[in-house]
Structure 1
Amino acid sequence: MSKRAVILIVDDKVSNIEILSAVLEEDHEICFATSGEEAMTVAQTAMPDLILLDVLMPDVDGYEVCRRLKADPLLADIPVIFTTALGDQEAEVRGLGLGAIDYVTKPISPVIVQARVRNHIEMKQMRDQLAELTVTDALTGLGNRRRLERTLSQEVARLARTAADLSVIILDIDFFKRFNDSYGHSAGDRCIAMVGATLNRAVRRAADLAVRYGGEEFACVLPEAGHEEAMAVAHNIRDRVQALGIPHSQSDAAPYVTVSVGVATAICTPGADLSSWIRAADAQLYLAKAAGRNNVVGRVFEDRELKELQAA
């Protein structure tokens, strides 16, 4: 059974929310807000599939809410349909210019609202499916580098609001070139696929992300994971890869395939550069390799250190 789409209805009049809810609740999950400020909070929490947004609201009007939504990387792709008693063309043009995808006037026509909501949700789902293909690694089924960069950007922005921790893991299959040279590229592809599947099983939380970063290198993003938790995940990954027992006669680390793992944890702050976490974790991966490989090395980075990495 497919997941029901979530619709956020924003209107300062509860009676209007009740009317729209009655029209849409049979096919969709409904959440609501009665002010512009509340709308932003609910949108960030619920991550709706579509927003029905009233234009005329006190304090923060619908135009300003739409502008804020489109300026937020986490919310910018959510379709917005304006609902208003305004019927003039100028108001419609202004709303569409701010990034709204459609416009309906009140009093609403239930049939028209249902049709437009259904059509826009279907289009969003198709766009999401196409976008997912562009950020998926074909060999492992994990995310790819583009997915990593997109997720890091979103999570750094989100977690900076509460100064929460973010941990990044980077791992590399030890002496993989030797493995390819000894066993062949087909065996190398199977090895990468097996390590990818193992990584996917080791990263368990719904918010966590595992990707194939490139070649024989993988990465994980662990939002709101402290350093101890991230190190435990990293050790679990290393142990699981070892347990695969894939023969590797040309490795100096072990007679089977192993990985070296670097872990970086830091508090997210406004304006933080997402690439700093990658550089920090990569530096720890270098230390793990220098220590003889088949190792896990990680530490907590201060904001100052991340900025130094960003400037490097």
Structure 2
Amino acid sequence: MCDPLNSPQLPPRILIVDDERFNRQLLTTVLQDEGIISTAGGSAEALEAVRMNPPDLILLDVRLPDMDGFEVCRRLKSNQATQDIPVIFITAMNNPEEEARGLHLGAVDYITKPFNHTVVKARVRTQLRLKQQANLLSRYAFHDALTGLANRRAFDRLGEHEWNSCQRQSFPLALILLDVDHFKNYNDHYGHGAGDDCLIAIARSMASAVNRSSDLIARYGGEEFAIVLPETALAPACALAERIRHSVEEQHLPHAASPTAPHVTVSLGVASLVPSGGSRIRDLILQADDCLYRAKRQGRNRVCSRAGGSNSEATADAKAESLPAIDTQP
């Protein structure tokens, strides 16, 4: 698993939007050493390019045939997924009112035609440096320094976002809570350095088991982890939890101080809810936490689950090879 706090920096991605091919080619040549360059000849093409592969910086011509740059900028800044991408306007006009309008919409700078190569490079480098600093601050704010996973703050923010999204579409949202069995004993026996290594190994097992980019793995606190699974019913969430439990056990990390097994094991609680107007994500967390508590009470090293809104419950024994399908609809 790659630690996002210490991973090497990828080259920045720069999108150039101009309806004139000559300008696109010229700016591509000028900025070829500054990052990975892509181009778009119109606003619709630009918006699609941003949606598919968000760049780190956009150079945007004010005058475009299908939709002017101001409207493109407004749409970018009104979208939570793209609002933080810096936009530098390209213009042939020397109009203070037009420049003020662009800055008011959220643009960070202007580049005027004809292009001064030195000025273009300097302004692009400044914005890329600022974006890199902002990205670094975001990583520290929303990632756990030890494991590289999302932290509790990211879980709270993104979990609420996924809850609202699933509520709008009437899709189920599943949550897995994982706790390392007898972790205090592990720390006392092997030391906190070994405890950190143990948590990193478990984080790797979780990351290798989760395949969808929409799923969120977070360090929930101490030796507890959480996985948010949008549009996921209980049965597939339980199957994933069992794969993670098995993957951790297969590492055979020695745990001489555990009364459960001679190696490190984990307990997992799983819940799934279709969000409704009268429910909150806290309800899902409480259900998953209750299932985690039952897993511990029943002997640990197992998966316990519950379908929210129904009376059906399922417990997956630690040695179970498959899980029965469970109807999670209320």
Query: Is 1:68 paired with 2:75?
Result: yes
Query: Shift of residue 248 of structure 1?
Result: 3.7
Give the residue type in structure 1 aligned to 2:255. I
| Structure number having the greater helix percentage | 1
Structure 2 residue 292 is matched with structure 1 residue 283: no
Which is further off, 17-26 or 106-115? Answer: 17-26
User: 1:44 is matched by which residue type in structure 2?
Assistant: R
Deviates more, 1:167-176 or 1:209-218: 167-176
CA distance in 1: counterparts of 2:161 and 2:87, whole angstroms: 20
Aligned residues: 293
| 1:258 aligned partner | 265
Aligned-residue identity in percent = 41
Find the residue that maps to 2:244 and give its secondary structure: helix
Q: CA deviation at 1:87?
A: 1.3
Partners of 1:156 and 1:39 in 2: CA distance: 30
Q: State yes or no: 1:98 paired with 2:105.
A: yes
Q: 1:282 to 1:296 in 2, by over 3 A?
A: farther
What is the CA distance between 1:8 and its match in structure 2? 1.0
* Preserved CA contact (<8 Å) 1:266 1:301: yes
The 3-state SS of whatever aligns with 2:226 is strand
Deviation at 1:225, TM superposition (A): 7.6
Separation in 2, partners of 1:221, 1:124: 28
Give the CA deviation at 1:82.
Answer: 0.7
TM-score by length of 2: 0.72
Q: 1:48 to 1:237 in 2, by over 3 A?
A: same
The CA distance in 1 between the partners of 2:305 and 2:206, in whole Å, is 18
Q: What residue in structure 1 maps to residue 204 of structure 2?
A: 200
2:254 to 225, 245, 254: 245
SS in 2 for 1:137: coil
Select 1:172's aligned residue among 167, 176, 179. Answer: 179
Offset at 1:2?
A: 4.8
CA contact (8 A) 1:142 1:196 kept: no
Following the alignment from structure 2 to structure 1, what is the Cα–Cα distance between the partners of residues 169 and 307? Answer: 18
- Aligned-residue RMSD, C-alpha: 3.8
Structure 1: give runs of 5+ residues left out of the alignment. Answer: 303-312
Shift of 1:51: 0.5
Letter in 2 for 1:84: T
- The correspondence of residues 152-191 of structure 1 with structure 2, limited to 5 A, is 152=159, 168-174=175-181, 176=183, 179=185, 184=188, 187=191, 190-191=194-195
User: What is the identity, as a one-letter code, of the residue corresponding to 2:63?
Assistant: L
- Report the AA paired with residue 204 of structure 2: N
Shift of 1:117: 0.9
Normalised TM-score (structure 1): 0.75
- Aligned residues of 2:34 and 2:125 also touching (Cα < 8 A): no
Summarize the Cα distance change of 1:226–1:30 in structure 2 as closer, same or farther, 3 Å threshold.
farther
